[in-house]
């Protein structure tokens, strides 16, 4: 399951900062936010919205808890149904 980062939307706890160590940039401040991620599942793109995450205050990398990651895995592999289906424009540079 590969993922592509999409824009996130902050939760009501946007000002709350948690201490952690970002594995991308090394900074140690993060905010609790709800984010959206696009997953590539057997050649099909699937958008999951409202994922709780810690988001690095410096580089924007989203970090999911193990529990959240497991919930996403179960959701995408049959335990859930889409709340909506939307058309998507696709562009190619090559």
Q: Which fold has domain 2-79?
A: Ubiquitin-like (UB roll) (3.10.20)
User: Residue 5 pLDDT > 60, yes or no?
Assistant: no
The DSSP annotation for 1-34 comes to -EEEE---EE-TTTT-EEE---TTT---EEEEEE
Q: Would the pTM count as exceeding 0.75?
A: no
pLDDT in tens, 41-68: 988 899 999 999 999 999 999 999 999 9
């Amino acid at each position: 399951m590969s993922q592509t980062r999409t824009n996130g939307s902050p939760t009501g706890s946007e000002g709350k900062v948690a201490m952690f160590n970002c594995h991308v940039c090394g900074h140690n401040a993060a905010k609790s936010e709800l984010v959206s991620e696009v997953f590539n599942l057997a050649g099909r793109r699937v958008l999951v919205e409202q994922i709780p995450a810690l988001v690095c205050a410096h580089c924007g990398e989203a970090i999911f808890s193990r529990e959240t990651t497991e919930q996403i895995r179960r959701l995408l592999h049959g335990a859930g149904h889409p709340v909506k289906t939307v058309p998507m424009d696709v562009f190619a540079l090559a």
